[in-house]
Amino acid sequence: MMDEIKIQKTLQPKEKPQLSELGFGNYFTDHMFVMDYKEGRGWHSPRIIPYGPLELDPSVMVVHYGQATFEGLKAYKTKDHHVLLFRPHANMERMNISNERLCIPTLDVEFAVSAIRKLVEMEQDWIPEGENTSLYIRPFVFATDPHLGVRPSHTYSFMVILSPVGSYYPEGIDPVKIYVEDNYVRAVKGGLGYTKTPGNYAASIKAQEVAKERGYTQVLWLDGIEKKYIEEVGTMNVFFKVGGEVITPALEGSILAGITRDTTIKLLKHWGIPVQERRISIDEIYEAHAQGKLEEAFGTGTAAVISPIGELNYQGKIISINDGKTGEIATRIYDTITGIQTGVLEDPFNWTLKIK
Amino acid sequence: MMDEIKIQKTLQPKEKPQLSELGFGNYFTDHMFVMDYKEGRGWHSPRIIPYGPLELDPSVMVVHYGQATFEGLKAYKTKDHHVLLFRPHANMERMNISNERLCIPTLDVEFAVSAIRKLVEMEQDWIPEGENTSLYIRPFVFATDPHLGVRPSHTYSFMVILSPVGSYYPEGIDPVKIYVEDNYVRAVKGGLGYTKTPGNYAASIKAQEVAKERGYTQVLWLDGIEKKYIEEVGTMNVFFKVGGEVITPALEGSILAGITRDTTIKLLKHWGIPVQERRISIDEIYEAHAQGKLEEAFGTGTAAVISPIGELNYQGKIISINDGKTGEIATRIYDTITGIQTGVLEDPFNWTLKIK
């Protein structure tokens, strides 16, 4: 049985940022959730305390050996001032899948969701109400043993912090230019690719920087084995519409099982639009383009929801998709997901959790 | 020009642990070296201060995106009370190679070595003098921006902490049993495998734990593409002696360019023992064993120096190497390296840096 969440309120509430200043991940609210794990004792001492610095030993294992996982989800305020979370259980279930791979103790999903709920409820005045804004929720777990030497830590912290955000990409829902990466590899089957762990993101930074220097917003990752099959776009899953059918790479262990990916697939099926999860080679996409059948391409992820792809560059061969404009399916999915998330549209799938 | 190193001495020196209690990476000395980086300003404010906790924002990028690198080297006390470092420039040059891959600003190698030197000199009373003991030196760099969203950090800290250590493996130089891993993958060409970054170690923990449950000390990693070629053993490089010749996997981007690996190769060449860096399949090793030609196998790394392999288990096929005893070459290399490191043997290669 988990202890009750102890609450210590801040005595110095911060000033809230202007909507125009938000950006992504730059501001944090007044409080945070913390819970500790110790071998033999389990998860304990859940508490909401003022947002403030962690005191970590310089040998703290997370900094040296990267044993950590995280999640990302959002809270939205509806027009009638309710507060909605979007599929929070899916995030915490995925965190447990990540934790198992990283040898980190799993969490009680219901308790973790209730902790998120409690924290967001306390911080509801921080949920911004402008277009494309939300309160980004970052649950994360990390190894806290002060020890050098590679082994699983015996102690961990689980935390939740909140950040009022605008659009992840400054471009917003406008189509972006993507560089097809055939040198650097993000992950490979048998590795950590399907988990949300810091190392996957560390592995992605260099290619992203090289792409930016070349004038591209992000990279399209190919598989690490044959450098042939499409994996992800930046930190998002990727979808293509080819000849009336929507296709997306199957989950084979090297890519993240995105919750927006799953939401997108369920919506497409609900609408009767054919959708397939399977291996997709970059050659197939270029061939479809040559035949005039490549109708749309877009990324899906919690941070940006939908990010249309207007151009691909693979080994210097540049193709434009849907004349560089946002496609019909991408628009419909974006409008539907954000509509459900913000309570503007019906929620036939019970995806939202009303917490106030 | 780098600033001078400011020194603030502790007012509360710690009690030093008993030799028998040391273990590996459990105790830390009284002081640490810290230096900060800020975009536009560069590395600045080098200082030696009392060892103590870091104050990090909960959104500190290293915890979320793993942008960090580290090194490991050792200081030894000679019988006549001098203090030796072993190839410190090689470590700091390798850190710069890691940093470039992780988009972390590089360091001035000479300055970094001088910082290590200064710190170790101050902490020389912490260098243990028992058999197989040393002062382990851990330089590390990590991203310090308080920010969510994947990009290179704009700020970093470089630190050096020191830990008096005994043997890395409780088994010491005794041969260990190794499980050949053909499911989990550590790294693949195009990824981070050749760098010393937390994510590589996070990726290795699960296989290590599974091997331990099966009664094995460590895993032998195979390549992530064909699951056929030998890469590393645990967190060490690996060598085999087959028919009088020593072979070790070539550096092709997925394994670490170990400094003990390089030292071992140079010693073998110096002794006129044939040594080759090339691709080695696990099948080749098993075939050599079947033909009675597999004479030795051992891992090399800073922490344990040499770790002989007494048994391999590949897909249930178990082979014993050199009757489970430490081989002649492994012993000779171990004795020579530790002899040079501790000043007992001549140092014809100028590997040691006398700092006192």
pLDDT confidence of residue B171? 55
Closest residue in chain B to residue A28, using alpha carbons only: B59
Q: Quick one: average pLDDT of B281-302?
A: 97
* Closest Cα in chain B to A217: B151
Report yes or no: A5 and A46 within 8 Å, Cβ to Cβ: yes
**φ, ψ dihedrals at B20, nearest 5°:** -70, -20
**So what's the pLDDT on residue A174?**
85
pLDDT at B130: 86
Instruction: Return the pLDDT at A256.
Output: 97
Q: CB pairs below 8 Å between A and B: how many?
A: 222
Q: Which residue of A has its CA nearest to B168?
A: A149
- On chain B, the residues whose CB falls within 8 A of the CB of A154 are none
Cβ-Cβ contacts under 8 Å, B141 against chain A: none
Instruction: Choose among B59, B149, B205: nearest Cβ to A161.
Output: B59
pLDDT confidence tier of residue A356, bands split at 50, 70 and 90? confident
Instruction: Tell me the pLDDT of chain A averaged across its residues.
Output: 96
Residue A329: strand, helix, or coil: helix
Is residue A263 over pLDDT 70?
yes
Whether B316 has a pLDDT exceeding 70, the answer reads yes
- pLDDT band at residue A167 under the 50/70/90 scheme: confident
Of B186, B202, B225, the CB nearest to A225: B225
Closest to A41 measured CA to CA, from A122, A129, A156: A156
Considering only CB atoms, B199 lies closest to which of A66, A185, A188, namely A66
- Are the beta carbons of A190 and B189 separated by less than 8 Å? no
* pLDDT above 90 (res B61): yes
Residue range B159-181, pLDDT digits in tens:
999 999 997 766 557 899 999 99
Q: Which residues of A touch B28 (CB under 8 A)?
A: 57-59, 146
Q: Kindly list the structural domains of chain B, giving each domain's residue range(s) and its CATH number in brackets, ordered by start.
A: 6-165 (3.30.470.10), 176-341 (3.20.10.10)
Q: What is the pLDDT of residues A32-91, one digit of tens each?
A: 999 999 999 999 999 999 999 999 999 999 999 999 999 999 999 999 999 999 999 999
Q: In chain B, which residue's Cα lies nearest the Cα of A136?
A: B148
Mind listing the pLDDT tens digit for each residue in B89-125?
999 999 999 999 999 999 999 999 999 999 999 999 9
Extract the runs of DSSP E, i.e. beta strands, from A131-251. 134-143, 155-165, 176-181, 218-222, 230-233, 237-242, 245-248
Contact flag A59-B191 (C-beta cutoff 8 Å): no
CA-closest candidate to residue B349, choices B265, B278, B274: B265
**Chain A residues touching B63 at Cβ < 8 A:** 62-63, 68, 140, 142, 198
* Residues of chain B above pLDDT 90, percent: 94
Residue B235: list chain A partners with CB under 8 A: 150
Phi, psi of B209 (to 5 degrees): -65, -40
Do A198 and B64 make contact, defined as CB atoms within 8 angstroms? yes
Q: Which one, of B273, B286, B278, lies nearest residue B321 by Cα?
A: B286
Residue B65 CB partners (closer than 8 Å, separation 6+): A198, A201, A202, A205, B143, B150
Nearest CA to A186 out of A214, A219, A215 is that of A219
Query: What is the per-residue pLDDT for A35?
Result: 98
The two tokens of residue A303 are 């941070």
- Structure letter (DSSP) for residue A220: E
The DSSP annotation for B47-79 comes to EEEE---EEE-TTBHHHHH--EEE--EEEEE-T
ipTM above 0.85, yes or no: yes
Residue indicated by tokens 């941070």: A303
> Per-residue confidence at B3, pLDDT binned at 50, 70, 90?
confident
C-alpha B319: how far from chain center: 27
Q: What end-to-end distance do the CA atoms of chain B give, in Å?
A: 25
Q: pLDDT at position B172, please?
A: 58
Is the distance from CB of B206 to CB of A199 less than 8 angstroms?
no
Of A4, A26, A8, nearest to A17 (Cα)? A26
- Which pLDDT score is estimated for B346? 95
CA distance A104 to chain B (A): 10
Mean pLDDT of B4-19: 96
pLDDT for the residue A131: 84
Tokens coding B49: 């201060």
- Are the C-beta atoms of residues B222 and B229 closer than 8 Å to each other? yes
Cβ-nearest to B190 among A146, A184, A189: A184
pLDDT tens digits, one per residue of B218-230: 999 999 999 999 9
- Region label for B229, one of left (φ > 0), alpha (ψ between -120 and 50) or beta (otherwise): beta
